[in-house]
Amino acid sequence: MLAFRDLKWFHLEKKAARKAFEAAYERECRAIASKLKQKMQDDSDPRAIWRIHDYLAKQRRDTDRKYDYRYSVLIEVFAQLLNEGWLTEEELTGLSADKIAKIKDLADFFAGRA
């Protein structure tokens, strides 16, 4: 069995993968922004700005770690995004059936560990 990093990505798959990746990233960033707005409305303490800063710093670290668009790790990235709900199976359309199966299997594995 090939390691995920050894998979060949064809041109059309790369386009589909980029589209799915960007959709998930935008969706998660919008969720972070929405939560940030809520935090700002809910907390009138001027020192809340530091809690907001800490929240944003953590979110930045988490998203930077998660959203890695190297083809050698993209199967794992998509599996995590699928498992967390940031990506849908439909958005994987354009990838080979083999890659989609690997992503779904790994997402199920991640779900079982949670």
The domain limits of the chain are 9-113
Using the predicted structure, report yes or no on whether residue 81 has a pLDDT greater than 80.
yes
Q: pTM of this prediction?
A: 0.90
What digits encode the pLDDT tens for the residues 48-64? 889 999 999 999 999 99
Residue 2 has pLDDT above 70, yes or no: no
Q: 99: Cβ–Cβ under 8 A, 6 or more apart, which residues?
A: 7, 13, 75, 92
Which pLDDT does position 1 carry in this prediction?
A: 42
Of 5-14, 35-44, 71-80, the one with minimum mean pLDDT is 35-44
CA 60-36-77 angle, to 5 degrees, is 35
Q: Residue 12 pLDDT more than 80?
A: yes
Confidence of residue 114 (pLDDT cuts 50, 70, 90): low
Section 65-77 average pLDDT: 97
